[in-house]
């Protein structure tokens, strides 16, 4: 159990049988009336964000979420296999839990896996990943019909939009949250 004074970003609460993570909170003490805490809660499983207000001093049930650094090993059908570096235990996680970031997973990549009561909740990739361009067409000078970008297929088979000067074999820095191009990595 946690008091509203214990609220902090990242704390996972158990509300109505659902796991909700606090993404924002604000203690409010109006001039008239009792104090309260305004929060933004993100459902850990569905990703849906809701606003919820708690009266000050209210006790709320917390959930113990274990975050562990793990290494991505390989893709097996619809599951992704991760290994704990300390215990060498392997964990199989489904595509829906890994989420859209799965398209940027490279073998031996370090990720953070959050579990609750032995069940994987989500996989957090590093914010930026460095990947090599497997294939892209040659950008033609003066071709601005696409806003100065072209599609490129990365070594993980993910497709992203890159500037026209990027060539096959270039190593790029990509934002794993939205797949946007951040820059070229000097080799």
Domains of the chain: 2-60 (2.30.30.30), 66-124 (2.40.50.140), 128-184 (2.40.50.140)
Pick from 11-15, 86-90, 147-151, 168-172: least confident? 147-151
Give me the count of residues in the chain.
Answer: 187
Q: Which two tokens stand for residue 128?
A: 């930026």
Q: Which two tokens stand for residue 88?
A: 């060498």
Place 56 in a pLDDT band, splitting at 50, 70 and 90: confident
- How far is the C-alpha of 10 from the C-alpha of 67, rounded, in Å? 11
The model's pTM is 0.70
Place 187 in a pLDDT band, splitting at 50, 70 and 90: low
- How far is the C-alpha of 86 from the C-alpha of 145, rounded, in Å? 51
- The answer to whether residue 171 scores a pLDDT higher than 90 is yes
What is the pLDDT, as a whole number, of residue 143? 59
Q: Which of 13, 20, 116, 14 is nearest to 65 (CA)?
A: 116
Do 54 and 60 meet the contact criterion of CB atoms below 8 Å apart?
Answer: yes
Q: What is the DSSP letter of 62?
A: B
């Amino acid at each position: 159990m946690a008091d509203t004074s214990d609220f902090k970003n990242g704390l996972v609460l158990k509300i109505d049988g659902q796991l909700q993570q606090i993404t924002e909170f604000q203690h409010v003490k109006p001039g008239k009336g009792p104090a309260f805490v305004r929060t933004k809660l993100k459902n850990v499983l569905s990703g849906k964000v809701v606003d919820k207000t708690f009266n000050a001093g209210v006790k709320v049930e917390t959930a113990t979420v274990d975050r562990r650094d793990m290494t991505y090993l390989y893709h097996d059908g619809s599951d992704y296999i991760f290994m704990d570096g300390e215990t060498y235990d392997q964990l199989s996680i489904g595509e829906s839990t890994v989420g859209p970031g799965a398209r940027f997973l490279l073998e031996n990549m370090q990720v953070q896996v959050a579990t609750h009561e032995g069940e994987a909740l989500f996989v957090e990739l590093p914010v930026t990943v460095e990947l090599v361009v497997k294939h892209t067409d040659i950008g033609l000078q003066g071709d601005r019909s696409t806003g100065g970008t072209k599609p490129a297929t990365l070594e993980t088979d993910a497709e992203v939009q890159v500037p026209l000067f990027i060539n096959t074999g270039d190593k790029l820095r990509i934002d794993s949250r939205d797949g946007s191009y951040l820059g070229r990595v000097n080799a």
